[in-house]
Amino acid sequence: ILDRAILSFRKLGYKKKQEGEQMRFETEAEFLNRMNGLIRLFCKLLVSGGPPFDANMSIAWRWIADILNMDPR
């Protein structure tokens, strides 16, 4: 059962962290902060109009549609 939990954390994108001599997965708050930062970076790139968003907005719309249509976990 522990192996399943570890696999599910990895599938969701949680990172392993070293604390002293122990390894642990990041907490939910740490994970959400990291995801928040990635989304903010994506949005800043989108607003700046740099590549790959300089040609059209289809990539951005496809990305947001994919995110919003994901099944809840």
Report the 3 state secondary structure along the chain.
CHHHHHHHHHHHCCCEEEECCEEEECCHHHHHHHHHHHHHHHHHHHHHCCCCCCCCCHHHHHHHHHHHCCCCC
How far is the C-alpha of 48 from the C-alpha of 44, rounded, in Å? 6
Stated pTM of the model: 0.60
Instruction: Give the per-residue pLDDT at 7.
Output: 80
Position 60 scores a pLDDT of: 75
Model confidence pLDDT, tens digit, residues 14-61 = 888 888 898 888 888 988 898 888 888 878 877 777 666 666 677 777
